[in-house]
Amino acid sequence: MSVLEIRDLHVTVGEGDDAKEILRGVDLTIRSGETHAIMGPNGSGKSTLAYSIAGHPKYTITGGTVTLDGEDVLAMTVDERARAGLFLAMQYPVEVPGVSVSNFLRTAATAIKGEAPKLRTWVKDVKTEMAGLEMDPAFAERNVNEGFSGGEKKRHEILQMRLLKPAIAILDETDSGLDVDALRVVSEGVNRTREEGDVGVMLITHYTRILRYIKPDFVHVFVAGRVVDEGGPELAAKLEEEGYAAYVKDSNEQASIEKAAAEVASA
């Protein structure tokens, strides 16, 4: 069993006088087999949490700890974090011209596992997982995300998760940009991973619609860079009915901070 522990995490973006604190003391523990929904309004710091764990260089950890099975994640390089078992499905997957999906997947698997998977077994596994995600086999020969629709990009992210088999999967707004059919297919892919019981899932979203397909074990409400409430699936149902008004008095300042963070990260 793997355990991701986040303790009193503080994160800023920017430098000098332009530095803005985004995360203001986050505590969270995710274990294998658990699904944690991270919910909150836009600008609450959810994506900052994901990128900080993954090691995005534009975010600066100013306090707190992140450990995976007792090992210091913050001391690891980005590739070391991946080999340790962390996986990030990005909200906005990038295009990689000149690199085919098949080459990308096998190269990633080789880098993480330390040896190339046996070709015959690998090809079978890729075809099986693509079929499960209702992906045309021809996508394997297309360049990574180049010309993909939003739904195709998100299916590709889940395909990576299925094949790389991380210990902890962080899914950053995997539901954004998906129509009903794509949402169903992507959710089924996540649920197959959950049923295997070996992966802890951090599911970041501000909508409840994906939680109709993926039932979380725990729900955490994020506002202004902190966890302000926690509960089970019933909390998601409450949020669907009442929204975040009970938690957010004035989030305009934090929203502007998160927007600035996004601009810096994409620069």
pLDDT tens string 78-103? 999 999 999 999 988 999 999 999 99
State the Cα–Cα distance between residues 261 and 267, nearest whole angstrom: 10
State the Cα–Cα distance between residues 91 and 71, nearest whole angstrom: 27
pLDDT per residue as tens digits for the range 128-150: 999 999 999 999 999 999 999 98
Q: What's the pLDDT at 63?
A: 97
Backbone φ and ψ for 45, nearest 5 degrees, come out as 105, 10
Q: What's the pLDDT at 255?
A: 54
State the Cα–Cα distance between residues 30 and 7, nearest whole angstrom: 12
- 8 A C-beta contact, residue 8 and residue 26: yes
Three-class secondary structure of residue 40 per DSSP: coil
| Percent share of the chain, pLDDT over 90 | 74
Average model confidence (pLDDT) across the chain: 91
Domain 3-266 falls in which CATH fold? Rossmann fold (3.40.50)
In terms of residues, how long is the chain?
267
What does the DSSP 8-state code read for residue 116? P
Q: Is the pLDDT of residue 251 over 60?
A: no
Q: What angle do CA 162, 118, 94 make, to 5 degrees?
A: 40
Q: What's the pLDDT at 197?
A: 72
pLDDT per residue as tens digits for the range 173-225: 999 888 899 999 999 999 999 988 789 999 999 888 899 999 999 999 999 99
Selected residue with higher pLDDT from 250 and 267 = 267
Comparing CA positions, the residue from 246, 217, 226 lying closest to residue 37 is 217
Q: What's the pLDDT at 257?
A: 53
Domain boundaries, the chain: 3-266
pTM assigned to the model? 0.89
